[in-house]
Amino acid sequence: MFGNWVKTSLLMAAIVALFGAIGAMVGGQTGMLLALLFGGAMNVFAYWYSDKMVLKMYQAREVDEASAPQFYGMVRELAQRAELPMPKVYLIDEAQPNAFATGRNPDNAAVAATTGILQLLSAREIRGVMAHELAHVRHRDILISTISATMAGAISALANFAMFFGGRDSEGRSNPVAGILVALLAPLAASLIQMAISRAREFEADRGGAEISGDANALADALTKIDAYARGIHLAPADAHPETAQMMIINPLSGGGIKGLFSTHPATEERVARLRALART
């Protein structure tokens, strides 16, 4: 828990620094100060509202025991096993099989799954997936992942602003080359921050999910199926907001082109192999 607070604080500081650097190149000292203020305000906003923003991006609809009794009951049973408060439960009307958790802490958490994953997987496999997401909640990964998704999107928008207006040299003259460099490097920096955060935590959430569900092979089977099917089905909200891809149980983006360089998930084969080994112990 303490480690995640440190990582979250470092992430927020790095993002504010990026905002300041972009502001300085766009508008000199005044631009830097304005960007720093904007970055600080965005951090506060992201802490309180980033989960709601992400759920809105995916047009997630909240469900309860009346509207989705089996799914809701499964999450409740797993939350009890994990000794967690009951999270809010959402469904996303998308064909690609995927799921994520969000929120600022276990008392304000939400789990979301696509309708595609409910159609593809068996009840046992869905249970493994939701246990994985609840492990993220228990490990308090959800705050840093949700903030990083929101802030990376803001950085990309600010970088596009920099490219449009061009940078400033030391004498305040327009420097379009600097603006182009900022527009390229800022999203790269944001992607590297997310990549550093995401890879190790997926292994830990797999292990934690296997512990919560008591069935490591169920999650291994689910990951194998999701990986095979997700490759051929677009997830429109993820394509529109690629900074949110790191929140998903499986990378929802195609591996081609520049997106493939910034995969935020370990290889599915390695995750499955670790889970199979865990099941044998």
Tell me the mean pLDDT in the region 102-116: 95
As a whole number of Å, the end-to-end CA separation of the chain is 27
* DSSP label at residue 248: B
Please, which pLDDT band fits residue 149 given cuts at 50, 70 and 90? Answer: low
Structure pTM? 0.79
Residue type for 269, please? E
**Mean pLDDT, the chain, integer:** 82
What's the chain's Rg over C-alpha atoms? 20
- pLDDT bin (cut points 50, 70, 90) of residue 4 is low
Would you say 144 and 4 are in contact if contact means Cβ atoms under 8 Å apart? Answer: yes
Q: Is 136 annotated as a binding residue?
A: yes
Per DSSP, helices labelled H in the chain are 2-57, 69-81, 115-120, 123-138, 142-165, 176-213, 216-230, 236-240, 268-280
Give residue limits of the domains in the chain: 2-280
At 28 the pLDDT is: 73
Whole-number pLDDT of residue 114: 98
| Confidence at residue 175, expressed as pLDDT on a 0 to 100 scale | 57
pLDDT at 261: 47
235 contacts 252 by C-beta, under 8 angstroms: yes
Residues 6-10: what's their mean pLDDT?
65
Lowest-confidence region among 80-94, 180-194, 203-217: 180-194
When pLDDT is averaged across residues 8-32 and rounded to a whole number, the result is 72
Q: Are 226 and 249 in contact (CB under 8 A)?
A: yes
pLDDT the model gives residue 281: 87
202 is in an annotated binding site: yes
Do residues 124 and 218 make contact, with C-beta atoms less than 8 angstroms apart? yes
Greatest extent of the chain over all pairs of C-alpha atoms, in Å? 66
pLDDT band for position 85 (50/70/90)?
very high
Residue 132 annotated as binding? Answer: yes
Q: Band the pLDDT of 184: cuts 50, 70, 90.
A: low
Active site residues: 133
Q: Which residues contact 118 (CB under 8 A, 6 or more apart)?
A: 71, 91, 126
Token code pair at residue 25: 């190149």
Q: Is 106 helix (H, G, I), strand (E, B) or coil?
A: helix
Compute the average pLDDT of residues 136-145.
85
**H or E segment to which residue 89 belongs:** strand 88-92
pLDDT confidence of residue 26: 67
Task: Please check the confidence at residue 141 and state whether its pLDDT lies above 60.
Answer: yes
The predicted pLDDT at position 104 comes to 87
| Residue 54 pLDDT > 60 | yes
Task: Quickly state the pLDDT bin for 51 (edges 50, 70, 90).
Answer: confident
Q: Give residue 33's pLDDT.
A: 83
